[in-house]
Amino acid sequence: MRQQFATAINVQIAQYAAHFVKRFGAEFPPDPRNVPFTPTIRNFGYLYLSDSSEFTGVLKKDQELQARLGAGTHILSRADVQEKYPFLYTDDLDSASLNLVDEGAFNAWGMVQWLRSTAQGNGVEYIANEVVGAEMEEGTNKVHSIKLRTGQQITVGILVNAAGTRAAAVSKTVGIRDLPVEARRRYTYIFSVDQSLTQDLPLTIDPSGVHLRSYGTKDYLAGCPPVGPDTAVDVGDFSFAENAWEQKILPVISRRVPQFASARVTDSWVGHYDFNTFDHNAIVGPHSRVSNFMFCVGFSGHGSQQGPACGRGIAELIVYGRFQTLDLSVLSFERVIENRPLTERAVI
């Protein structure tokens, strides 16, 4: 969870997420199935490292936007970074950007389980299946029903496409073929070291593109994009196409944090971003032609923190016909059709 974005709407969405997580336990009823969830944020912050005056200029520009919107981001000099995080190698740095207010990590998976379980307790039906087709209402631009892989046909009132990396495939079932969302591979490794740091490691974004942070009490997480070109992959491909740990991550983390030279991998996985190739931002709201079809897709790696605001926004559109809590209209699909990118450059 972070507010260090380059577009105002993403800062506001992140602020809503922090508010949502912090009030979650107080305002929502207990889960009838006793799914544990602790609504807290581990505020170790995000630390963007700059190794050039040019990137420092970008960080300063973003910090000014974030500060205007109430975020607690500060620009640190190289000396500031060294003083605050003495375990970091800083000789090659120019500056850094840091926010310790409502930035860090939270139990997103626990929150999803809690919400799903509570919804089921209140009568919401979840169907484990796959959408393979759709039927349009004759003579209209409305979706009448969807077809599942098992052959089941379900009549729909409003169809919300929140299919993540499969969003483009779902859109094609209703004739929408220009959704710019694809699966992009990301590697994650959990590792331990001989001697743990004496303080939390912020989610640190190295100039190389590798990011690392504290994970549990004595272990750490590191991740990165592919070693080679960052291109689309099959939605079902979660293989390790390359040895990203040896080729990319270990050399970076052992240089940036010398204590991490003894790093040993204890767990690893490949995940996918539902990457919006148009402008790296979410697409939220109705389609311009198919009147009862809505998008909540293309989060480009930010889905866990952006889900609360965007999910509420979709609910408000369905119930009230307009956004109420936060105006998400700048994330509409129309910007894609009209070629008006709202580019988010702060994508890890």
Question: What's 324's domain CATH number?
Answer: 3.50.50.60
Residue 39 pLDDT > 80, yes or no? no
Boundaries of domain holding 37 = 1-123
Do 150 and 115 lie in one domain? The reply is no
Q: What is the pLDDT of residues 145-190, one digit of tens each?
A: 999 999 999 999 999 999 999 999 999 999 999 999 999 999 999 9
Residue 83 counted as domain residue: yes
Residue 107 counted as domain residue: yes
Report the share of the chain in percent with pLDDT over 70: 96
Non-local CB neighbours of 66 within 8 Å, separated by 6+ positions: 3, 4, 5, 11, 73, 99
The single-letter code of the amino acid at 39 is: P
Per-residue pLDDT, averaged over 231-245, amounts to 96
The CATH number given to whatever domain includes residue 113 is 3.30.9
The single-letter code of the amino acid at 83 is: E
Non-local CB neighbours of 276 within 8 Å, separated by 6+ positions: 180, 181, 282, 283, 297, 298, 299, 300
Residue where a domain terminates, one of 123, 144, 161: 123
Residue 309 counted as domain residue: yes
pLDDT at 91: 97
Do 104 and 12 lie in one domain? The reply is yes
State whether the Cα torsion 31-34-35-37 is positive or negative.
positive
Residue 51 counted as domain residue: yes
pLDDT at 117: 85
> Taking the model in full, what pTM does it have?
0.94
Residue 136: exposure state from Cβ atoms within 10 A (0-12, 13-18, ≥19): middle
Please state the domain count of the chain.
2
Do 119 and 9 lie in one domain? The reply is yes
8 near 84, Cβ under 8 Å? no
Do 33 and 136 lie in one domain? The reply is no
Do 114 and 166 lie in one domain? The reply is no
Tokens for 194?
Answer: 């001989």
pLDDT at 79: 98
